[in-house]
Structure 1
Amino acid sequence: MTKAIDSNITDSEWEVMRVVWAQNKTTSKDIRDIIENKKNWKPATTKTLIGRLVDKGVLNTEKDGNKYIYSTNLKESDFLKSTLEQTFDNICNKDIGKIIADLISKSTLSYIDIEELEKVLEMKKEDAVDVVPCNCVPGQCNC
């Protein structure tokens, strides 16, 4: 039976996942060594976070002698998209455009990124509406 995946991960768990995604397969020592420059974690902290990610079904483990190798079947881009979709599901439809614009204005983008965004926005014009309808139940927003 396949274990269900809990995609709600903490900021610290994200730090671990970013290492696993970058390394493909790694040990807790490797994770600790990589994050060491950014976080002042004790070895037990790293092991606790890894254990939580294993329990959530996000990390896989395989034993190699006296150590464990950690990996994931989840693509970073798919996981990020899923997380963002979950976040956007909790926002009033009328606010999504403003939030995306705010995210873009605060982001460092390359010329290629901007060209891609312009293409997407140009295609979105074909389906654009005059007013985005609110998707909240009464009392959930200020529409």
Structure 2
Amino acid sequence: MAELMRLPDTELEIMKVIWESGRTLSTSEVKASLEEQRPWNVSALQTLLNRLIDRGFLESYKEGKNRFYTPLVAEKEYLAVENKAFLEKVNNHSVTKLVASLYDSHSITEEDLDELAAFIRSKTGGA
């Protein structure tokens, strides 16, 4: 697969709806899920869905009057690329620097750090 490109926020918002559903969705199902947060114009939504198809994130097919969308890129795959780029760009490859800045800015709590420590212990055999 070609290198994934970073998605604009609105396109990422659409992909999150499709990823979270875990199934193929129609245009109206995507619109209904998005509208739980704010109103969406159907023609603008169709334009963004077509961009996601052009970028290789979605495939679609038409059945009757409905168009359906299936992800071609897994959420886990996209997040891995995004997280790596963010870590490189903002934190100079340092996870410690990232966590420290989140903690110092009160973006994460002591409980979050405890959860992270437990995760690290589980992945390293308690070392």
- The TM-score normalised by the length of structure 2 is 0.75
Distance 1:99 1:58 in 2: 28
Q: What's the offset of the Cα at 1:5?
A: 5.6
**What is the letter of the counterpart of residue 107 of structure 2?**
K
Higher RCO (Cα < 8 Å, 6 or more apart):
1
Structure 2 gaps, min length 5 = none
8 Å contact 1:19–1:34 — kept in the other structure? yes
Matched length: 120
Other-structure match for 1:73: 72
Distance 1:84 1:41 in 2: 28
| Percentage of pairs with the same residue | 24
Distance 1:114 1:45 in 2: 41
Structure with more of its chain in strand, by fraction: 2
8 Å contact 1:21–1:75 — kept in the other structure? yes
The structure number with the bigger radius of gyration is 1
8 Å contact 1:60–1:72 — kept in the other structure? yes
Give the alignment's Cα RMSD to 1 decimal. 2.9
Structure 1 gaps, min length 5 = 127-143
Structure with more of its chain in helix, by fraction: 2
- After TM superposition, where is structure 1 displaced by more than 4 Å over at least 4 residues in a row? 113-116
Other-structure match for 1:86: 85
8 Å contact 1:5–1:58 — kept in the other structure? no
Q: What's the offset of the Cα at 1:11?
A: 0.9
